[in-house]
């Protein structure tokens, strides 16, 4: 469900045409709010693909599971490398797990 925008961190990609999240969202769900920060216009329509979270250079976006089906406040944070990705998974009890794997190029 809804990508949460940290309005402190978001710089609206400096309000140039479209912020990166607006560009990337497969559902055309992001737009630039009047405060020149990214805004999800229809959180209900999000597919949780996390493309926006991955692309945000400010680390200002977070995908949340709707409370109705998932407790507060688990987190899943991707960090993009050049040819690998790491994920930090924090469960509702604060237990941290980390994943790292190659997402481009050869595996050796």
Partner 1 sequence: MSLKVTPKIAIFFANEGDELSQSVDLAALVPRFSRAKNVSCCEVLPGGGAGKNREDIIAKYQQGMFNRILWVGRFSPEQRRNWESDLAAAGLNPYLQEWCDLREQGIYHEKDLRELQTQKAMILIQMSLARTRLLEPLEPLCLPGTDAVLVVGGGTAGLHAVAALAQAKKKVYLIEQQSAVGGKVAELGRLYPRICDPHCGLDFIIQKIRKTKSVEIHTLSRVVAVEGGPGNFFVRVLKAPRYVDEERCNACGECRKVCPVVLPEETSGPYGCQHAPETVCESTFRKCAISPPWPLNFPTAYVIARPLCPPHCRKCEKACPSAAVLLDQPPTELTFRVGAMLVTTGWDPYALAKVEEYGYGRYPNVISNLEMEQQDALPGEIREVGFIQCAGSRDERHLDYCSAVCCSVTLKQVLALKEKNPAVRCYIFYQDIRTPGLGEELYQRVKALEGVLFIRANPAVVRPRQDGRLALRVEDTFSGKELDLSVDLLVLAGGLIPSEGTSEIADVLKLPRNAEGFFESHLPCHSEESQRTGIRVGGTSRGPMGIDRAIETAQQAALDVLPFLQETIEVTPTVPVLNLSKCDKCKRCMEECPFGSFLFDAEGFSQVDLGRCRQCGGCMGTCPLLAVSRRHSTIEQLAAQVRAVKPSFLAREEPVLLAFLCANDAYPAVRRAAELGLSIPLNVFHITVPCIGAVNNALIADALAFGSDGVLIAGCRDGQCHYIKGNQLIKTRGDDLKAKLQSMIMDPRRVRLTNLEIRDSRAYVELIHSYLKELKEMGPNPFRA
Partner 2 sequence: MENKGITTLNDIKTEIIETDLLIIGGGNAGCFAAYEAKTQNPALKVTIMEKAQISRSGATAAGMDAINTYIREDRGETPESLVRWGRAQLGGGPIREDLVLSNAELLNESVEMLEEWGLPIVRDDEGYYKLRGRWDISIQGEQLKPIMAEKAMEAGAQVYNRVAATNLLMAGDRCVGAFGLGVRDGKLYVFQAKATIVATGGACGIYRSPVTDYTGSHHQTWMCPFNVGSGYAIGIRAGAEMTSLEQRWVAIRTKDFCGPVDTLAVGYGCLMINGRGEKIMADRYAHLGGEKAPRFLRLNAPMTEWLEGRAPTYVDTTRLSSEESKELREDLLNERPSFVLFLASNGIDITKEPVEIFGSDPYIVGGHTGSGYWVDIKRMSTIPGLFAAGEAAGGSPNKFVGGCATEGRIAARGALEYLMGVSLPAPPADQIDREKERVFAPLLRGGAFDGVTAVEMEERLQRLMDEYAGGVSQFYRMNEERLEHALKQVKVLQDQTRYLFASDLHDLLNVHEVIDRLSVAEVLLHHLIYRKETRWEGWQTRMDYPEVNPDLDCFIESRRDPLSGEVKVFTRSYEQLVAGDRTKG
Active site residues: 47
Taking the complex as a whole, the smallest distance from the CB of residue 58 to partner 2 amounts, in Å, to 18
Question: Which residues, listed in sequence order, are joined to residue 107 by a DSSP beta bridge?
Answer: none
Pairing of strands 3-5, 61-63: antiparallel
Q: What is the C-alpha to C-alpha distance for residues 107 and 8, in angstroms, rounded to an integer? A: 37
Residue 81's binding partner out of partner 2, partner 1, none, with CB under 5 to 8 Å set by partner kind = partner 1
Nearer to partner 1, 1 or 24 (CB): 24
- Positive or negative: CA dihedral 13, 46, 55, 71: positive
The binding track of 42-61 with respect to partner 2, each residue x by CB under 8 A or -, is x-xxxxxxxx---x------
The answer to whether residue 91 forms part of the interface with partner 2 (CB under 8 A) is yes
User: Long-range contacts: 81-88, Cβ < 8 Å, 24+?
Assistant: 85/54
Footprint (CB under 8 A) of partner 2, residues 13-32: 18, 23-28, 31
Binds partner 2 (CB under 8 A): choice among 1, 6, 11, 58: 1
The answer to whether residue 82 forms part of the interface with partner 1 (CB under 8 A) is yes
Residues in contact with partner 1 by CB under 8 A are: 9, 13-14, 16-17, 19-20, 23-24, 55-59, 75, 77, 79-86, 88, 90, 96, 98, 100
């Amino acid at each position: 469900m809804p990508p949460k925008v940290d309005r402190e961190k978001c710089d609206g990609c400096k309000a140039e045409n479209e912020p990166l999240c607006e560009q990337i969202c497969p559902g055309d769900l992001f737009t630039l709010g009047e405060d020149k920060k990214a805004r999800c216009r229809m959180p209900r329509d999000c597919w949780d693909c996390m493309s926006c979270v991955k692309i945000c250079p400010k680390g200002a976006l977070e995908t949340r599971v709707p409370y109705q089906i998932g407790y507060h406040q688990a987190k899943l944070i991707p960090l993009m490398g050049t040819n690998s990705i790491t994920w930090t998974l924090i469960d509702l009890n604060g237990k941290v797990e980390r994943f790292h794997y190659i997402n481009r190029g050869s595996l050796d």
